[in-house]
A and B are shown apart, each in its own frame.
Chain A
Amino acid sequence: MARPEASAPDAVLACGEVRTRLLPTRQALDIRSAAQFLALRADERVLLSERPALYARSPETLTGVDCPLPSANGSRVRAVGTVAARAALTEGRVLQTSAYFRLPSTGPDQRRPWGHYLVRPGVVEPFGKLLPEAIAEGVLGGGRPGDLDVGLIADGLLTRLLRHPLLDQRPPLRSRPTRLRWAALPAAPGAGPSLERFTLAEDDLRTVRLRVPPAIPPDRIAGLCDDLALHDWLLTTVVHLLDGVRFGAPEPSARPRPGDDRPAAVLALRPAVDHLLHLWMPRARVASELAPLWDTLERQPGFTRQWQALVQRIRDQLTLHAIPALYREAELTP
């Protein structure tokens, strides 16, 4: 990024929220459409890459904020600055918007002119001193109305993008968006990054608590969290898809859809094969110093293990449904 960044005291906390959802189009966007779709600013280019998978990321946008920080201990620390937000599209299929900021441990006692904040993109400065632990838990738990809400900024960007005329609003499968909130506290001096907690808080909400060496910039932490959110969304979506399928012989009351004699299970699972199964690629976009955090999730709960089991189940179902057709053909030949 070419922007001049004023030096700020080391961040004691970085926080963010990621929204993840299926792009509502019949076909995935190709790389040129993706670039057009994510061109949020005229002065900065969309980041595009084709390996190991098609990936496009918008430039950062900044939102000015001046409001209390959420906190778990009831303190109300006012903070002023800018929150960074960006959008990313994976394989032209999964859309994510991500908003994040970092907080220094102390800030000025009064509000400075906006110029001061604009040269510190993505930094929010507290008035006075701050207890990072309380703010981290406040962010993860969701603040009170009026508190700084990064989720709203991510949501605002998502809403804006979803109005884009490139989208035909014909999603190939029903799915639910998810939210992932994260907070990263500094790791102990000399210690590497660690993932302290990954929770499924509500149906569609995940929270992640991290420790990272203070030198790692927040957009890299956001990159890791985007990657976690993407794969968590894939798991959630495929689990729901399988939940909705009635397996086994069709019930006598089941009505065939007019004009379609494929079994319901095949109709339901096919979109996963067409649109989702090839998207599993953990760590593909994660900075190398943060990539080891994935290992924690691979051990427990075992993201990739669960994914492989789901993929196998889908393939087995589709194979099973292919068998009667083969029999039919075999009977036809004398």
Chain B
Amino acid sequence: MIVFAASDKGGTGRSVTSANLAYQRALNGDHVAYVDFDFGSPTAAAVFDVPSAVRGTRERGLHSYLEGGTPEPAMIDVWRQTEHPHLHAWPNQSGRLVLFPGDIGGGEFATDEDALERCVDLLLRLNGEFDVIMVDLSAGRSYAVDMALAATAHPRMRNVPFRWLVFHRWTRQHVIAASGLVHREHGIIRGGVERGHDELALRSAIRFVRAAVPDPESAVWSQGSPAQAAWMQSCDEALRRLAAEHAIGDSVVLGIVPLEPILQWREQLITEEDVLATQIANKETLEALEEIARRLTDDTYWGQP
């Protein structure tokens, strides 16, 4: 299963959340590849805490691979190479977690036929090796999004299942932008249909993730005044109506990741230790990530809304 992670705006939490989803799937025994197609700002190295390993792969990243500069893109075994204090040992019963890093200073580029063929080669190879392939795409209606649409419409990919996650924050602007990315004239659905995707099938394979959402009920906000609480409540309701009007309402939401203080400070994986031992992360955040990771392959959450 290929999962594309997209967002209209930058800084929505797409990379951090999708890296955490990849981590959760691997913990549960799946072999997982994390493919950094965010050519503008490849950040996965930081989230997985493998910066020095990635520095060693300069010039062999995905960007070079797609442009034909290197025949085999660099890959980093996260369990083995991470500097994250809790991840050092390959957790018992977990699957592989392998990062395919982008190039440092890669930048967006237009894809030609050759790059597309190489992209298909890579995705097919990963499909033979991994249970879940998480692909982080540059924000907006980027070349990376184009390539993902073209690759999945390619005849060689006809038997490879894929899904899309569209990440957005929980504000008016973000809701409207996320809906636009998918539904507007040059959005993912229209763009996909132009490349040969079936509209219904594509629609059925797109779900939204609301990231960094403040939960008015949570302890984090309980310090506020009753007026603040009431205001947040009504904002939340207004946003839900707005989302529904823009065809990204609850029925097409795969999950909601609460606003997590430690993620505001640092892009990282949330581990069980962070919640149970050091208690620096909220239990709700970890539970939300675990649940979304599970739903990635639970068909009852996908299909026609």
Q: Which residues of A contact B (CB under 8 A)?
A: 21-22, 24, 152, 155-156, 159, 162-163, 165, 167-171, 174-177, 203, 244, 246, 255, 258
Q: Is B117 at the interface (CB under 8 A from chain A)?
A: yes
Nearest-CB residue, chain B, relative to A168: B159
In addition to A152-B71, A169-B159, 17 A-B residue pairs with Cβ atoms within 8 Å of each other are A22-B128, A24-B128, A156-B71, A159-B71, A159-B121, A162-B125, A163-B117, A169-B160, A170-B159, A171-B128, A174-B31, A175-B129, A244-B29, A244-B95, A246-B29, A246-B93, A255-B294
How many A-B residue pairs have C-beta atoms within 8 angstroms? Tell me: 50
Residues from chain B with Cβ under 8 Å of A176 in the complex: 129
Please name 18 pairs of A and B residues whose Cβ atoms are closer than 8 Å in the assembled complex, sorted by A.
Answer: A22-B128, A24-B127, A24-B128, A155-B71, A155-B72, A159-B71, A159-B121, A162-B124, A163-B117, A163-B156, A165-B155, A165-B156, A169-B158, A169-B159, A169-B160, A170-B159, A174-B31, A176-B129
Q: Is the interface of A mostly helix, strand, loop or mixed?
A: loop
What CA separation (Å) do A169 and B129 show in the bound complex? 12
Tell me how far the C-beta of A162 lies from the nearest C-beta in chain B, rounded to whole angstroms: 7
Residues from chain A with Cβ under 8 Å of B29 in the complex: 244, 246
Q: Is B162 at the interface (CB under 8 A from chain A)?
A: no
Q: Which of B89-116 contact A (CB under 8 A)?
A: 93, 95
Q: Which of B117-152 contact A (CB under 8 A)?
A: 117, 121, 124-125, 127-131
What CA separation (Å) do A24 and B71 show in the bound complex? 20
Knowing A163-B117, A174-B31, A244-B29 are in contact, say whether A169-B130 is a contact too (CB < 8 A).
no
Residues from chain B with Cβ under 8 Å of A155 in the complex: 71-72
Residues from chain A with Cβ under 8 Å of B128 in the complex: 21-22, 24, 171, 174-175
Q: Which 6 residue pairs are nearest across A and B when measured between Cβ atoms?
A: A171-B128, A170-B159, A169-B159, A24-B128, A176-B129, A169-B124
What CA separation (Å) do A162 and B127 show in the bound complex? 13
Q: Are B121 and A163 in contact (CB under 8 A)?
A: yes
Q: Which of B145-179 contact A (CB under 8 A)?
A: 155-160
Query: Among A21, A169, A175, which residue has its beta carbon within 8 angstroms of that of B156?
Result: A169
Nearest-CB residue, chain B, relative to A25: B159
Query: Among A163, A169, A246, which residue has its beta carbon within 8 angstroms of that of B127?
Result: A169
- Find the residue from B121, B158, B159 having the highest chain A CB count within 10 A: B159
Residues from chain A with Cβ under 8 Å of B95 in the complex: 244
Q: Are B124 and A24 in contact (CB under 8 A)?
A: yes
Tell me how far the C-beta of A254 lies from the nearest C-beta in chain B, rounded to whole angstroms: 10
Residues from chain B with Cβ under 8 Å of A168 in the complex: 159
Residues from chain B with Cβ under 8 Å of A175 in the complex: 128-129
Q: Are A174 and B72 in contact (CB under 8 A)?
A: no
Q: Is B217 at the interface (CB under 8 A from chain A)?
A: no
What CA separation (Å) do A176 and B65 show in the bound complex? 19
Tell me how far the C-beta of A230 lies from the nearest C-beta in chain B, rounded to whole angstroms: 17
Nearest-CB residue, chain B, relative to A179: B72
Residues from chain B with Cβ under 8 Å of A258 in the complex: 299-300
What CA separation (Å) do A156 and B118 show in the bound complex? 12
Nearest-CB residue, chain B, relative to A159: B121
Knowing A163-B117, A169-B156, A169-B159 are in contact, say whether A174-B124 is a contact too (CB < 8 A).
no
What CA separation (Å) do A165 and B300 show in the bound complex? 33
Residues from chain B with Cβ under 8 Å of A169 in the complex: 124, 127, 156-160
Residues from chain B with Cβ under 8 Å of A171 in the complex: 127-128
Tell me how far the C-beta of A24 lies from the nearest C-beta in chain B, rounded to whole angstroms: 5
Nearest-CB residue, chain A, relative to B118: A159
Residues from chain B with Cβ under 8 Å of A162 in the complex: 121, 124-125
Tell me how far the C-beta of B24 lies from the nearest C-beta in chain A, rounded to whole angstroms: 14
What CA separation (Å) do A155 and B129 show in the bound complex? 17
Residues from chain A with Cβ under 8 Å of B129 in the complex: 174-177
Residues from chain B with Cβ under 8 Å of A255 in the complex: 294
